[in-house]
Chain A
């Protein structure tokens, strides 16, 4: 069975450029989560969707970040304009539902470096 798929796996860009990260959740999963991992702050939840609808985006650091889920099999996280402090590993995860006891399965992550 295919797990969560993320692309690209690595992204190097220059400050000010737009960055788009992509995620395909596990088929049949109704909830999708975007996380960011840094050494300083650990794993942070940025936003999550249920049935393609954004439920909570309180973790999104600022207006430069936006996320969409146009259908059940695709989501994007966009940073525009990017800044060096956005450098991190971005994970997408999916689960059957948003019930807290449902297991979240993570993608391989996208390592973003903003120069």
Chain B
């Protein structure tokens, strides 16, 4: 079985600073994907970034990067130069390659960006 743990229910960051949102996972599958989604107060789920378990380099997408430490089973999201619009819930999710779409989500971290 797969499991995602997000230990930070809430985080605050000052505008323009960087912030790291923690995510640890548990899986026995050798091949899997890790995903981060953003859910603003308007409710939609927005895909941010993907990391494959066999990817040698950490994924980056604009101001988002993923600090992937496979041995520690962690996949932390780093947001650089925080903006007010980054205030939202952030969900980490895992899906083994052979799972046929069974995306398992963590409970999320609520990020608040202060002006």
Contacts and interface: CB of A to CB of B under 8 A. Distances in A.
Contacts of B98: 100
Contacts of B97: 99-101
A106 B32 contact: no
A111 interface: yes
Interface string B39-61: 00001111100101000000000
B101 A106 contact: no
Contacts of B44: 106-109
A102 B107 CA distance: 21
A75 interface: no
A56 B108 CA distance: 25
Interface residues of B, number: 25
B100 interface: yes
B59 to A, nearest CB: 12
Given A43-B105, A100-B33, A109 B100 contact: no
Contacts of B50: 101, 103
A55 interface: yes
Contacts of A42: 105, 107-108
Give the most central of B44, B105, B107, B108: most A CB within 10 Å. B44
Nearest to B34: A101
B87 interface: no
Contact of A45 (B33, B35, B91, B103): B103
Contact of B100 (A56, A89, A103, A107): A56
A21 B46 CA distance: 20
Contacts of A56: 100, 102
List the 7 closest pairs (A to B, CB-CB), nearest first.
A101-B33, A106-B45, A100-B95, A100-B99, A98-B100, A98-B101, A43-B105
Interface of A: 31, 33, 42-43, 45, 48, 50, 55-56, 89, 91, 93, 95, 98-109, 111
